[in-house]
Structure 1
Amino acid sequence: MSATSRVPALAPFRVRSFRFQWPADLATSWAFEMETLILGWYVLVETRSVLMLTVFASLLYIGTLLSPMFGVMGDRIGHRYVLSAMRAVYAALATTLMTLAFTGALNPVQVLAIAAVMGLVRPSDTGMRIALVGETMPAPQLMGAMSIQRTTQDSARIAGALTGAGLVATLGMGPAYSVVASLYAISVLLTFKTGGSRAAPNPGADTAGVSAGLRTASGERETAEAQPQARFPQTAVAAGDASARPSPWRDLKEGLAYVRTTPHLLAVMCLAFLFNLTAFPLFHGLLPYVVKEIYRTDQTGLGYLVASTAFGALLGAIALSARGGAIRPARMMIVSCVAWYAMLLAFAYTQHLASGIAVLMLVGFTQCLCMITMAAMLLRTTDVHFRGRVMGIRMLAVYGNLPGLLIAGPLIARFGYPITATLYCVIGLAFTLLIAVRWRSHLWRLEAPANTR
């Protein structure tokens, strides 16, 4: 009997596509963490400006507005092809940075320019990899698959952060970036091997947005039953009617309308934007500032803090992979979100590296519970024909990082990190409770589709 048969938590590895996707996502996540750490520290040291650090971090999310279109293309041509092309772009940009570093021509302006190009594509990676899992994984295994998929990001954050800091400190920028470029190249090759037959549609998926139909420009409503070829691009192509295939913009409009008319999906999108606006900037983009100005340590200390957050998240992912079948996703998402903000508030007032490491482990644990249950709920309750677009729209919420980081820079310069973090956490908690009350029948009621086990 194989290990995947003996251990239920490993059941997703019975799917061939997942066996290739897991190491591909691992290599990409490892490269992401190394790259963000290396370049963030480089910009801060070379410019000596927290404002430039926030600009660099913001540029990595500049393409968030394009995420829904990546979802449209995934629904049209396949998520595997879109994800492979995206990762080929990462490899090309990393190779360019590696070349500049080896020749001694690298400067902050070039780093910011390349970060801007990278930022056009990178925000959509998580949404596309989640959509690919949903495309190939049977519905009963989605929670376990998402938990295991999340471990690729968290374990990579631990190893990538510590390795990135160590490589730069011992070998320099050029050799460190050669590792990043190699990881991206490996991820491209493995991603091409994913895909295959689609998983069977989830009978519990919410099709209200489909059956209700969408309004056309003339104001009339049309339903999926009435015009199946116009609704779903794959149907038109399979029928050999290429002219019936709608434009990408129409696909996008239909995806937006589907989210808008499905209450629990709309609530999740609001929460996702709130998290990116008020929570993620505090322990992602601004962490180099905390290390340098509050803890008074170097990039090695930064690596320890990033790794501690990832280790806590890894523990959360392991816990969910083992017990995920007994969890009410929407309820767990709300409860863990409140705990997440509480831990961020505690982190804002830590003054020493050791205490910061301990608190960030709890931050990572609660954040992981929130994100995994959110992703699993989206995959379970979204109609299969809209899955790529919904995940693309979900990644649109990452755009909240941009104003969150840009506003935080001047606030920290004037009031300091603790007061700024307190303000962000209070706002986040208040709006989380407001969203939970506003959509309580869709997020808290046990019989709600969002709480299906």
Structure 2
Amino acid sequence: MKTGKSVLPPTAEPPRKSIFQDRNFVLFLVGQCITTQGLWVQKIAMSWLAWSLTGSPFWTGLIAALNFAPAFILGPVFGVMADRVNLRKTAVTLNLMMAATAFLLMILSMAGQINLFWMVVLAGTNGVLASAMTPVRLSLVPVIVQREFMSRAVAYAAMNFNISRLVGPAVGGVVIATWGTGAAFMINAASYIPMIFVLATVKIHVERAPDAKSKRVLAALVDGANYAIHHPMIRSVLALSCFVALVGTGMVELMPVFAEAVYDRGVTGLGMLASASGVGAVASTFMLSRIKSDPVAFQRVTIIGAFAAGCGMLGLGFAPWYELAVMLVAITGFGLTAVGVGSQTALQLTVDNKLRGRVMSFWSATSFGGIAVGGMMLGAISEAGHIQYTARGSGALILCAAIVGLWRLYRVGTTDAKSATETAK
């Protein structure tokens, strides 16, 4: 007897749910979008101000590095903190403090009192706050979205960040050229307000939050380190992302030197180079959003990204024309983002939830610490010689790291295949 109801064939799969049906994630994404626009406007302002005040690649690299250096030392400690604090309250507090530093930068800049001392102090302060915020932010994603959406959540959050990276520097260049650096710092200070509202209202699934309160800080930190060191994929992914950040992303922090000293294009040229890197990053994150939630697939992406970043950086070291440099910076941005987001997603899909804050803090420490150390090291090298020679060396080293990563992945795959064959016998 026919009932008139349609029945799906047994082989039919239910339609794939969209992550954008999740109100929590949409709110988080919108808040992050506004805040990161402000961050990139401030970042371009600080880089340009450092170069304008000193005319030195070393100091330009150092100021950029101070925004990341504390993560290398303090990141793992803040990772333990992220595993045991109230994520909502901590995130709101940290955002308020970062807004306060941006407001102070605005006051000093508008009053004409900004100098190298204040830039060093406030860049370092921002670095400490950012190193505390990173493991908290990364621990928020799993308690906001379902696991089936994890890879897409990370990819879309990264795409959001990199769209800001595309738009923010271009906007920052115009704002600085028209109203000065004080206006850029004011935009960043105001951009924290929507994110604070989102963090206060978004639903947190407390039952999925990590809990490490039963252990002392040092013991909890050692547990996280042992877990990361003895897990082959986590160890490999952390090593590659750290090295690429050291010699690749650290080089990108010296874009003001390329814009002014190599191509004589000023702050608008710097904004265009930074935006080109953002175009490549957006394309990369769009590709990443189409990959299934498989940690091995994302590990492969990090290696592909390292090859792209190495080729782009090597080409930048030889580029005689600004227009060609813009294209090569876009390729480099594509590759660096594939490494950064691919490694982050591989870890998020692999790590034990009880250790998430600590392991993700190791990722932020190696990635951002690599940027910090790399920015200072490459800035010092470029001070002694031509910056394009430094870019050539960076590109060659990244290509070597990509080859090693590919070899290790092939070796692990071969070992797993042999083990499966022996088990079948």
Q: Is the 8 A contact 2:309 2:398 kept in 1?
A: no
AA of the residue aligned to 2:382? I
Q: Is the 8 A contact 1:138 1:199 kept in 2?
A: no
Deviates more, 1:124-133 or 1:181-190: 124-133
1:133 to 138, 141, 147: 141
Q: Tell me, in whole angstroms, the C-alpha distance in 1 between the residues paired with 2:15 and 2:269.
A: 37
1:160 to 1:363, Cα distance in 2 relative to 1, 3 A: same
Which residue matches 2:237? 268
AA of the residue aligned to 1:289? V
Q: Tell me, in whole angstroms, the C-alpha distance in 2 between the residues paired with 1:424 and 1:350.
A: 14
Shift of 1:101: 2.1
AA of the residue aligned to 2:268? T
Q: Is the 8 A contact 1:291 1:298 kept in 2?
A: yes
Identical columns (%): 21
Shift of 1:198: 5.2
Q: Tell me, in whole angstroms, the C-alpha distance in 2 between the residues paired with 1:61 and 1:105.
A: 24
Which residue matches 2:40? 33
- 1:248-292 CA-partner distances (Å, limit 9, x unpaired): 222111111111121111111111210111110122x11000000
| 1:62 partnered with 2:58 | no
Which residue matches 1:3? none
1:183 to 1:37, Cα distance in 2 relative to 1, 3 A: same
| 1:103 partnered with 2:111 | yes
Q: Tell me, in whole angstroms, the C-alpha distance in 1 between the residues paired with 2:236 and 2:89.
A: 30
Deviates more, 1:54-63 or 1:364-373: 364-373
Q: Is the 8 A contact 1:94 1:180 kept in 2?
A: yes
Q: Secondary structure at the match of 2:241?
A: helix
Q: Tell me, in whole angstroms, the C-alpha distance in 2 between the residues paired with 1:389 and 1:306.
A: 31
| 1:329 partnered with 2:329 | no
Q: Is the 8 A contact 1:264 1:443 kept in 2?
A: no
Q: Tell me, in whole angstroms, the C-alpha distance in 1 between the residues paired with 2:232 and 2:132.
A: 23
Which residue matches 1:219? none
1:18 to 6, 20, 25: 25
Which residue matches 2:256? 288
Which residue matches 1:312? 280
| 1:429 partnered with 2:399 | yes
1:386 to 346, 350, 355: 355
Q: Is the 8 A contact 1:128 1:391 kept in 2?
A: no
Shift of 1:380: 1.0
Q: Tell me, in whole angstroms, the C-alpha distance in 1 between the residues paired with 2:50 and 2:332.
A: 26
AA of the residue aligned to 2:115? N
Q: Is the 8 A contact 2:315 2:392 kept in 1?
A: no
Which residue matches 1:173? 181
Shift of 1:183: 0.5
Shift of 1:95: 0.9
1:433 to 1:144, Cα distance in 2 relative to 1, 3 A: same
Shift of 1:409: 2.2
Q: Tell me, in whole angstroms, the C-alpha distance in 1 between the residues paired with 2:79 and 2:236.
A: 19
Deviates more, 1:186-195 or 1:418-427: 186-195
Q: Is the 8 A contact 2:31 2:195 kept in 1?
A: yes
- 1:163-212 CA-partner distances (Å, limit 9, x unpaired): 111111111222222111101233222223335115869xxxxxxxxxxx
**How many positions carry a matched residue from both structures?**
402
| 1:233 partnered with 2:212 | yes
1:441 to 1:17, Cα distance in 2 relative to 1, 3 A: farther
1:295 to 1:446, Cα distance in 2 relative to 1, 3 A: farther
Q: Tell me, in whole angstroms, the C-alpha distance in 2 between the residues paired with 1:69 and 1:7.
A: 42
Which residue matches 1:162? 170
Which residue matches 2:326? 357
Shift of 1:57: 1.2
Which residue matches 2:248? 279
Q: Is the 8 A contact 1:436 1:443 kept in 2?
A: no
1:348 to 301, 317, 337: 317
AA of the residue aligned to 1:76? R
Q: Tell me, in whole angstroms, the C-alpha distance in 1 between the residues paired with 2:82 and 2:170.
A: 34
Task: Tell me the TM-score normalized by structure 2.
Answer: 0.87
Q: Tell me, in whole angstroms, the C-alpha distance in 2 between the residues paired with 1:20 and 1:447.
A: 44
Q: Tell me, in whole angstroms, the C-alpha distance in 1 between the residues paired with 2:312 and 2:36.
A: 24
Q: Is the 8 A contact 2:249 2:336 kept in 1?
A: no
Task: Tell me the TM-score normalized by structure 1.
Answer: 0.82
Q: Is the 8 A contact 1:74 1:128 kept in 2?
A: yes
Q: Secondary structure at the match of 2:83?
A: helix
| 1:186 partnered with 2:194 | yes
**Which runs of 5 or more structure 2 residues have no equivalent in the other structure?**
1-13, 419-425
Q: Tell me, in whole angstroms, the C-alpha distance in 2 between the residues paired with 1:282 and 1:444.
A: 35
Q: Tell me, in whole angstroms, the C-alpha distance in 2 between the residues paired with 1:58 and 1:276.
A: 12
Q: Is the 8 A contact 1:71 1:388 kept in 2?
A: yes
AA of the residue aligned to 2:144? T
1:50 to 34, 53, 57: 57
- 1:346-395 CA-partner distances (Å, limit 9, x unpaired): 12222222112212222222223332222221111111111111101111
Q: Secondary structure at the match of 2:84?
A: helix
Shift of 1:446: 8.2
AA of the residue aligned to 2:220? D
Q: Tell me, in whole angstroms, the C-alpha distance in 1 between the residues paired with 2:273 and 2:386.
A: 20
1:196 to 1:436, Cα distance in 2 relative to 1, 3 A: same
Shift of 1:440: 4.3
Shift of 1:62: 2.4
AA of the residue aligned to 2:79? G
Q: Tell me, in whole angstroms, the C-alpha distance in 1 between the residues paired with 2:371 and 2:208.
A: 35
1:127 to 1:307, Cα distance in 2 relative to 1, 3 A: farther
Q: Secondary structure at the match of 2:34?
A: helix
